[in-house]
Structure 1
């Protein structure tokens, strides 16, 4: 566990960030982004109607997928209270962006995402590593499987990225199911209404403008590209980083830094990934405005070096290679992949 001096150093880092104005709101930036997003969507609808019955509309589906992903990044910012001082304003903006524009349930996603931020990569606590189509932890391998599925799991790293083509469909479905079945979602009926308008409205527009075959193909392309884009943006953040045992307690700093990975590449990568390339800084300061992440990153890196904590940063291709390797190692279940450094240190002292 960190010393009192280490805790004081982190407090000093926070004060330094405050002194540089890195924790202040960026109202102009976010209002520009919000108004711009609505303007781009209106322009897209106008363009879609103007093009009419054409195979070029599949390209418009790809464009809409990119727009939807960028809007989802904005919703993520609002959910973390990055936009406004008022919690209610952030909640409503995120709800409208998620439900009405993107077509996923804000309430369902927020509950899941908050649990992730509280305990990233921790067994039994982080829903993002729970067993699913992809096994992210060795424990998920133990279930009995037919021979073909066992073979697929051992090679799951290679089909992970193609599988993200289904992520968009899953997000829409999980949102619908969450709103329909969960009584814990606040503003449940508002969310249901906005989801109905978004999903039904886009479907109606597409089938009015295009014949049934093209319309169905358009929707498949749009949702598939949307899912792959989101999956490729979120996958490098934590997959392939240390896994934390359920019984291990870590202080806030180590809980966030040891399991997070930054992606290098400057402003272009930052735009493409919606600021998620600064994952370490985002986990340490989740309410910091997106434009300030690149400015606080050198301070955090220096602080981690002073605390002798690994500060992981790689290029995007390298991160994807780590993701693939990790998933294949988990599938083989031959060892304990990417063991948490603190656990490895304990075992070296007191092996089990």
Structure 2
């Protein structure tokens, strides 16, 4: 099975030589000072947003702060993502603590559940059997799987390109539901701590809204915040892999080919990198997950040159073009849904 059809590339990629070049430049070393500044800015932004709600108490103008909260929530999620990859500290205990505070307490998302899911994605990106990010769900990324849909699921698949953004408004709620389910069943290493922090997040969030807004305002704020948070996360992750191919067994066995051929970069300036949490340089991130975010742009020309020397496609595109590629793939897959499901 394939997402966009298999491609044929050389098996020998000399991954060891690329790793040597990256290591000799110190690009895998943690950047704690960078993350101290970034984490402090995130916390200051969060406190200012909370202060804004207090100052605009019981005013509909306060709802305008919901998009600000969505961006801050996204930035905190990116910080937690980097901590989970040990980009901030090589210590597993320090990394877990940072993730529990930023993921569970500040964002209401389970660190342990997300880590298991994300590790599976990194291990085999775009693998229809192993990568949970392309598993059959609200969206379908494979024509054969689309052909197996029936009823309402088939209708959703037929219209999935047009429903992409509307359905992203539910993504934050979906992540929270999955987080709660994860802590309710055995398996998480810090299960009790995670449950307590998720509960604390919910209580504090509800208390903030109820104490600063009327019930009507609070419900509108909640809806706008969570909807835009979901869209923000979805738009940050979608450009990287959606519509990229699956691999032959030979390609999948090579660590460099497995990561480079299934990802695309969206190069841009510092602002774009900040807004997308560094995920715009997805090729470098997947090749070196523990590489601190600010070092990705320094690794990019090294990786690109290595790929050129070995004849390995290194795909880069603009942000808008990346969405176009993803939408085109969703539309092509939608055409494989059963004819009876068509409107």
User: So what's the TM-score if we normalise by structure 1?
Assistant: 0.89
Deviation at 1:193, TM superposition (A): 0.5
Equivalent position of 2:20 in the other structure: 15
* 1:47-86 to 2 correspondences below 5 Å: 47-86=52-91
Deviation at 1:248, TM superposition (A): 7.5
Structure 1 residue 331 and structure 2 residue 340: aligned?
no
Distance in 1 (CA, whole Å) between partners of 2:56 and 2:288 is 44
Per-residue CA shift, 1:138-160, capped at 9, x if unaligned? 233133423x6544422311221
Equivalent position of 1:117 in the other structure: 122
C-alpha distance 202-11 of structure 1, shift in aligned 2 (>3 A): same
Deviation at 1:74, TM superposition (A): 0.4
Select 2:316's aligned residue among 310, 313, 333: 313
Q: Mean alpha-carbon deviation: is it higher for 19-28 or for 227-236?
A: 19-28
Per-residue CA shift, 1:120-150, capped at 9, x if unaligned? 001210011111111122233133423x654
Equivalent position of 2:11 in the other structure: 2
User: So what's the TM-score if we normalise by structure 2?
Assistant: 0.91
Distance in 2 (CA, whole Å) between partners of 1:296 and 1:246 is 27
Select 1:180's aligned residue among 178, 184, 193: 184
Contact 2:107 2:201 in 1 (8 A): yes
Distance in 1 (CA, whole Å) between partners of 2:143 and 2:72 is 36
Larger relative contact order (Cα-Cα within 8 Å, sequence gap ≥ 6): 2
Deviation at 1:21, TM superposition (A): 2.5
Contact 2:11 2:250 in 1 (8 A): no
Distance in 1 (CA, whole Å) between partners of 2:18 and 2:39 is 31
Select 1:214's aligned residue among 214, 217, 220: 217
Distance in 2 (CA, whole Å) between partners of 1:126 and 1:245 is 15
Contact 2:251 2:258 in 1 (8 A): no
Alignment gaps of 5+ in structure 1: 335-352
Equivalent position of 2:175 in the other structure: 171
Distance in 2 (CA, whole Å) between partners of 1:247 and 1:102 is 40
* 1:1-352 to 2 correspondences below 5 Å: 2-3=11-12, 6-7=13-14, 10-146=15-151, 150-181=154-185, 183-244=186-247, 249-333=252-336
C-alpha distance 248-285 of structure 1, shift in aligned 2 (>3 A): closer
C-alpha distance 210-154 of structure 1, shift in aligned 2 (>3 A): same
Distance in 2 (CA, whole Å) between partners of 1:289 and 1:233 is 18
